[in-house]
């Protein structure tokens, strides 16, 4: 009798525990917070993605502390980790399927941004597209940005427009051809300045596309734009400034908030530059009816798209800032990978040499003939993503995902580093191994960006198929991804064709390998300067480069 009663009480208790567990949303796992401030001072500003990686490994699976039968349905929830910053929730996603569901399929609820006082209100005056919260301004500016980067009608710099944006980027190839040849010549002339040459390569291309002119010879515009980029990469990320974590600090008077004047000075500098460049385009449009560039297209469509001159200047500036640092950084990571993994360089060069001798420079027509090179570029994207911590999103309403409640206003961080270094998907993920991508039969030019989560989440929708005034989708997927990927491909293949990339040696002859962890930190990251030798493969290669430039 006593045994039966005890068993009944046990089963009733178990049922009650299970019912409570089933009716209450489980808590997203995460480290224990500090009183009042939560995890505010636990999240490092420098190399945040490394901290997210540790959290994912430690807290990424919700574990059961009592009966397995009680919460078996909540196990294996995936690497989702929750932090609290001064009372606000932050969720870090490390699984691509979670990010695709929330930021792709449920993008209507996760396309916003958490307001940033420093970078948004004062530095950008709420004009910068990447920082705008969900709303009419975001939809209007994003529609304008998509229309701007579509190759349609850019006659003077592009040919052969097709409605499919994945194919249409082929129209940029003449310009990419010219600028990549200049990169090779610069590397021949002053190989130790490789970082500067990579920056100028990407800046020259994007500047020409955006403003329809070459960068000035004295380098003043390039220097100003590089200063702006350096500022943005540091100031954008949450936690970079205390006022973004504790917005109440914005109520302080100016003499107690010197950061406010600093942000406003930066705004005046960048707004002045953006406005001058777009105004120059408008002036040239009066005398050059055939002028075609991103800014000219914005001026042509300004009234239709209902954007102000200030918004126009920042939209054009966003095209430059979005494409320059990321492209240059990716090429620099490629150079480091070749120093650390010389066998991959040799394999790529062997493949290139099958089709191109020293008197023939590789071009886009060979993309499908160079599968190893194609895989090598994809591996660069994976091995060293230039935005490893991801770009924060924000939820517009309460939501439930996998049983977890996500509150309105929660910051969602898609940690690209964790996704690209998932051992289940990418075994030996810290090793640079292009052959991991040779298993896929899809080696078309468009697949350069597939499987690389730094380009965003969700299905691409061409704005040409939509009424941009009413139903333009607000997925934050990179609209210039195909242009960027093909630009990087041509630069990498041509550098491999022209140069041997070798490590430096110390006085004793020992190899001095760079450290992949020695990199910048911020929204975008690239290697800090490291030593290497860029050696032309032959005098004939150099001669071919010079002849190619003469005929441009």
d(CA 546, CA 20): 75
Strand residues in 397-462 grouped as ranges (E): 399-401, 404-406, 411-414
Residue 229, φ and ψ in degrees, nearest 5: -60, -45
CB-CB contact of 482 with 449 (8 Å): yes
d(CA 368, CA 366): 6
Q: Which helix (H) or strand (E) holds 215?
A: none
- Helices assigned H by DSSP within 236-308: 242-245, 258-287, 294-305
d(CA 237, CA 256): 23
Question: Running DSSP on this structure, what letter comes out for residue 473?
Answer: -
d(CA 202, CA 329): 10
CB-CB contact of 348 with 489 (8 Å): no
d(CA 28, CA 37): 18
- Alpha-carbon distance values, 329 to 197, 337, 348, 516 (Å): 11, 12, 21, 13
CB-CB contact of 523 with 236 (8 Å): yes
- Alpha-carbon distance values, 455 to 175, 439, 450 (Å): 23, 22, 9
478 labelled as ligand-binding?
yes
CB-CB contact of 147 with 154 (8 Å): no
b/e map of 178-199 (b: 16 or more CB within 10 Å)? bbbbbbbebbbeebeebbbbbb
SS3 155: coil
Strand partners, 82: 91
Residues 6+ apart with CB under 8 A from 198: 183, 328, 331, 332, 335
d(CA 229, CA 270): 10
Strand partners, 413: 92
Distance of CA 83 to the CA centre of its chain: 23
Distance of CA 127 to the CA centre of its chain: 20
Q: How many CA atoms lie within 13 A of 519 on its CB side?
A: 24
Q: What is the CA radius of gyration of the chain?
A: 26
CB-CB contact of 36 with 84 (8 Å): no
How many residues are recorded in the chain? 552
Residues 6+ apart with CB under 8 A from 265: none
List, as residue ranges, the binding site: 478
Q: Residues comprising the binding site for heme?
A: 478
């Amino acid at each position: 009798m006593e045994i039966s009663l005890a068993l009944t009480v046990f089963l009733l208790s178990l049922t009650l525990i299970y019912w409570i567990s089933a009716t209450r949303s489980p808590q997203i796992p995460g480290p224990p917070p500090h009183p009042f401030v939560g995890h505010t001072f636990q999240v490092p500003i420098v190399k945040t993605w490394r901290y997210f990686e540790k959290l994912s490994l430690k807290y990424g699976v919700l574990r059961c502390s009592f009966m397995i039968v009680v919460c078996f349905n909540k196990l294996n929830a995936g690497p989702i980790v929750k932090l609290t910053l001064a009372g606000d929730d932050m969720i870090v996603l490390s699984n691509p399927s979670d990010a695709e569901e929330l930021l792709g399929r449920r993008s209507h609820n996760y396309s916003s941004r958490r307001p940033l006082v420093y970078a948004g209100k004062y530095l950008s005056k709420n004009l910068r597209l990447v920082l705008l919260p969900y709303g009419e301004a975001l939809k209007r500016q994003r529609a304008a940005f998509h229309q701007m980067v579509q190759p349609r009608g850019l006659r003077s710099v592009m040919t052969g427009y097709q409605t499919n944006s994945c194919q249409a980027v082929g129209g940029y190839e003449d310009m990419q051809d010219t600028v990549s040849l200049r990169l090779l010549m610069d590397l021949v002339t002053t190989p130790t300045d490789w970082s500067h040459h990579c920056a100028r390569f990407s800046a020259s291309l994007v500047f020409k596309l955006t403003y329809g002119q070459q960068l000035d010879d004295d380098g003043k515009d390039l220097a100003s734009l590089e200063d702006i980029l350096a500022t943005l990469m540091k100031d954008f990320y949450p936690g970079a400034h205390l006022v973004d974590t504790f917005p109440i600090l914005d109520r302080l008077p100016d003499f107690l908030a010197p950061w406010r004047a600093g942000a406003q000075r930066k705004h005046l500098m960048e707004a002045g530059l953006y406005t001058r460049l777009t105004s120059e385009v408008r002036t040239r449009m009066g005398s050059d009816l055939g002028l075609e560039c991103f800014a000219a297209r914005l001026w042509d469509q300004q009234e239709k798209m209902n954007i102000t001159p200030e918004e126009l200047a920042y939209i054009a500036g966003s095209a430059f800032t979005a494409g320059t640092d990321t492209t240059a950084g990716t090429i620099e990571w490629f150079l480091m990978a070749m120093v650390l993994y010389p066998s991959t360089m040799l394999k790529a060069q062997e493949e290139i040499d099958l089709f191109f001798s020293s008197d023939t420079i590789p071009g886009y027509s060979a993309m499908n003939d160079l599968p190893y090179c194609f895989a090598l570029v994809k591996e660069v994207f994976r091995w060293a993503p230039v935005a490893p911590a991801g770009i924060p999103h924000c939820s517009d309403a309460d939501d439930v995902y996998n049983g977890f409640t996500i509150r309105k206003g929660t910051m969602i961080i898609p940690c690209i580093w964790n996704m690209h270094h998932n051992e289940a998907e990418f075994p030996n993920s810290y090793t640079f191994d292009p052959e991991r991508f040779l298993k896929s039969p899809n080696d078309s030019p468009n697949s350069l960006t597939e499987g690389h989560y730094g380009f965003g989440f969700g299905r691409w929708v061409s704005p040409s198929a939509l009424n941009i005034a009413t139903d333009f989708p607000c997925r934050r997927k990179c609209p210039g991804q195909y242009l960027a990927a093909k630009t990087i491909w041509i630069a990498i293949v041509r550098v491999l064709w022209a140069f041997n990339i070798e490590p430096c040696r110390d006085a004793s002859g020992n190899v001095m390998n760079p450290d992949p962890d020695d990199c910048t930190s911020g929204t975008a990251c690239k290697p800090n300067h490291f030593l290497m030798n860029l050696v032309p493969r032959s005098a004939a290669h150099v001669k071919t480069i010079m002849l190619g430039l003469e005929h441009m």
